[in-house]
Structure formats: C-alpha cells, structure tokens
Structure 1
C-alpha cells in the first residue's frame, strides 16, 4: 500500500478587506497632517502667484471689468522704463554692499565674542549691545535714523563739532547721499543676524584643529585663512545667499525713510512695484515687475538650494 503526502496549496491567502483598509489609512495619515499646511500654501502663495502672472499678460486689469490680452507688452514697458532700470541698479548696489558689510561686521564681532581674551561678563554685555539693532522693528529703526540723520540731528552735530562738515547735511534728501544713507541703516539693522549665526558656527569648530595648526608653527592669520574660513564656508555661503534674497525684498525701511526719492536715488524694485500698483494704479505693469523680481529671486534661491545640497 502506497501512502501519498497531502498536496500543499500554492495559492495565496485571500486579502483581508479590513487589513488593506488599515494599511491604506496608515499611509494617508502623513498626508492628513500635511494637508492644512499644503492648503495654506496653495491659497496664500500659489494662487496669488498664478494670478499675478496672469495679470502681467493682460492690460487694464482690476481697474476695468473687461481686460484685454497684451502679451509681453507690459514686460517691454517695464524693462524700458528708466525708473525701473534705476531701481534695478540701486537694488544691486543696496543688496551687494549690505551683504558684504553684514558678513564683515558679523564675522568681526563673532570672533571678538568668541575670543578667550574676554571674560564672561564682558561677553554678555557686548552681546546685549550688539544684538540691540535686531530687537527693533523696521518702523522704530526708520524713525530713529531719520531723527539722527536730520540736518539738526545728533550725527550732524557731532560731525560739525569735529570740524568734518561746515553745515548740517540732509542725508536722506541729498541725491548723492541718500542711497548710501539707507544702505548704512540697513547694515546697522541686519548685521546681528550674521553675528549670531557665525558665532554659533565658530563655537562648533573643534579646538583640535587650532592646536594641530599651532603645533605646525602657524600664526594667527594662517590659522584664520586655513582653519577658520574653510570651516565657516558652508555657513557663510548660506547666509550670504539668504541675505541677498531678504535684502532684495526690503521695502519698509526704504519707504519710511526716503520713499524711493529723491529723484529715484533710492528707488528699489520693491518700491517701484508698489508705486506702479497703488500710486499709478497700473496693476498690469506692477504685475510684470513683480514677476521679474520673482524670477531674479528664484535665481538666488537656486544657488541657495544648490549650496545646501553640496553640504
């Protein structure tokens, strides 16, 4: 008598409906948490950007019910406008000088606060003093510096006392000085952010690197250029690109100090776009200018993302 082994079934077990539904629910949970943020981004950012891009290709938008398609006419009008070209030039000077000064001042003060030559109490006092500009709002900063740089203000009084000038200078009303005056104010208001970020990066550099460099007989300058700067390079690049983006969008400080004047001497891309929309009521032209600013900002954002990926 021959015994045969029972046949084993090779068919897969039928899927349990309840288990598949629970797996699907677990996969959808992260999207549920993200959905409020995604909804806000779409409503508050994506939709307005799409609307502005649409407005830039039409004429008589918002002010008239029936607008007409204008193609690239608004972009041509903006790019050939002398005020826009002046604003583009002023913005380039404003952001480049501000970013460079922020970097130099921030690194200088950060290295001073990181120096072992200063005691703990002295460092705490200097930290409070250096971070004060960052605690003020733009409105307060604008009012303070308008009073300080007034022809009868403190700055002119000190310069006259030292014999550097003969009469008070109206820094914000002089076409040759206004741009440098608002740039100086922006530098004063923004360097603490660089200082704090670079100070944190300096404190993260291992002391072993400096000790090894000292054993090799290097001086302070060699350790700075061959140890400190290479270690700070990722932070410096990220901060510089971010500062270029933020400074290019500076509006409140310019508007509350000079309003873009005198004679377009401090006209920026932000103030030019604002005037086109809410002073001239040329919303189509303002939309075209806003799209151009968006494209320029996206170029800077591309380099920022690229630097982050390299890190």
Structure 2
C-alpha cells in the first residue's frame, strides 16, 4: 500500500512538474536578472560596471523618484478607497429584492468597464477629458465653465483625472466580489436583527460588514497590488506629465530604462517596488489572519 501510494504521488507530480518548472523559470529568472542589474552601471555600453548599492543610493537622491513615490501613494490610496466605496454602493443596490432579469441586465452593463483593456479605457478617458470632450461639454451646458479645460494637461487636475479613470475601470470587480459576499450572509440572522428592532444602518454595519470582512480585505489587497503597479493607463493618458505631476513609480522605471537607458537605476527602483508590495501584502495577510482568529 505504501509503495502504491508513493508511486501514485510520483505520477501525479510528473504531470504538474513541467508546468511548475516553467512557472519558476518565468518568475524567478527575470527577478534574478533585475536584481543583478540593479548592482551594475550600464552607461558604458560595451561592458556593465559593478557599482554595488550605488543605484539604490542614487534613487534616494533623485527628486523625481520622490515625486513619483508621492504620486503613486496618492493615486493608490485615492483609487482603492473610491473603488471600494463605489463598488460597495453598487453591490448594495444590486443586492436588493428586484426583478432577476433587470438585476442581471444591470450587472452586465456595470461589468463592462472591467472587461475593457487598459489601452481602451485610457483612450476613452483621454477623449472625455479633452478640451472638446464630453466632460467639458457637460460642465459648459450647466453654466459651470465658459470654455473647455485641458484636464489632463493641467497640473492641478491631471492626477485626479487618472484616479477617476482608474476607479471607473476597477470598481466592477470590487462590486462583483462584494455582491457575492453579500449573498453569503444568512437571511435568518438579518431577519432576527430586524425583529429585534435593528434598522438598515445597524444591520449593515454591525451584521453584514463583519460577515464579509474576509472578502473585503482580500479585495482591498488585490486592488492595492493592481493599482500600485499600474502603468499602461497612466502612460496612455498623461505619460507622467505635465512636469512629472502624474509621474508614478512604474512610469519612472519605464522612462529610466527605455529612454535614458539607465537599466541599473530602473532595476533598483523595480526592486524597491517589489519589496514595498511584499511588505504591504504581508501586513494585510497578517491582518486578515488576526481578524479571523478573533
């Protein structure tokens, strides 16, 4: 029996071993290359020069890096907060006792932005925020503006425009996951609370939210990771401008690597981003585990 069990495990492992090896190769090897490149200076195109941790010290002395870091934090925190708020709002509305066909129709419509690629989403919002776009047309018809504003070219509003576009793209996923979590809350618990005199507000914040906190924390973690590493949406809409006002860490890495050809500097920034996301992930996972143990 033991021999058969060992043989069965070996056969099962043989089926997944090629995929595991390929996954490790495509994940660990590029990571190793980036880590190695972060210790070299590539300004001499004939032969990279080992410089130790100088690239890491250089990014800390680069003013644009700190601007990109601040913009990344603002963009991430604002986007994730609004994604959760908007997603939960629509989840609450779609969780009401309404006609099944109508509810299914609105679910499909609301999921539409999440199905689009970042390139399409970015192009749509570039047109909306252009001086002759839909947003300016709407404000002019309300009498708020006399002439169109180039929102994405104005340093005061460009980052806000990115947040709006990112929230529009991201909230359907949060809505879908929170809506699924809502439907796991026992109806008899809500009915018992209603009989005891608890209003909708109390039932939502003291019964529903504690019941779905695991899913809520998971969605927040995923949105943090996805938003922190956003590149294509920012690159298409503003390219990091105007004057670095929307420069984030991912575009900072791209411009250093493929425009300045400073691969060592870009690699060091990439490792910084990786470590930051690992720390955030570990913190959130420990938070989830601690809350489940309470």
Equivalence for 1:190: 170
User: Could you tell me which of 108, 125, 150 is aligned with 1:128?
Assistant: 108
Write out per-residue CA displacement over residues 40-81 of structure 1, whole angstroms, 9 at most, x where no aligned residue. 1222110111111111112127x6343222111100111111
Equivalence for 2:121: 141
Cα distance in 1 between the residues matched to 2:112 and 2:37: 42
Shift of 1:259: 0.5
Equivalence for 2:261: 281
Write out per-residue CA displacement over residues 142-172 of structure 1, whole angstroms, 9 at most, x where no aligned residue. 1111111110111101101101112101011
Q: State yes or no: 1:42 paired with 2:13.
A: no
Q: Note if contact 1:234-1:307 (Cα within 8 Å) is conserved in structure 2.
A: no
Q: Note if contact 1:84-1:272 (Cα within 8 Å) is conserved in structure 2.
A: yes
Higher deviation after alignment, 122-131 or 212-221: 122-131
Gaps of 5+ in 1: 1-18
Equivalence for 1:9: none
RMSD: 1.7
Q: State yes or no: 1:236 paired with 2:216.
A: yes
Higher deviation after alignment, 39-48 or 278-287: 39-48
User: Could you tell me which of 132, 137, 142 is aligned with 1:157?
Assistant: 137
TM-score (norm 2): 0.94
Point out the structure with max Rg over C-alpha: 1
Higher deviation after alignment, 125-134 or 248-257: 125-134
Equivalence for 1:210: 190
Shift of 1:307: 4.8
Equivalence for 2:36: 54
- Tell me, what secondary structure is at the counterpart of 1:189? helix
Equivalence for 1:6: none
Equivalence for 1:73: 54
User: Could you tell me which of 145, 155, 167 is aligned with 1:175?
Assistant: 155
* Count of aligned residue pairs for this structure pair: 291
Gaps of 5+ in 2: none
Closer, same or farther in 2 for the Cα pair 1:225/1:21, shift >3 Å? Answer: closer
Write out per-residue CA displacement over residues 276-300 of structure 1, whole angstroms, 9 at most, x where no aligned residue. 0000000000110000001011112
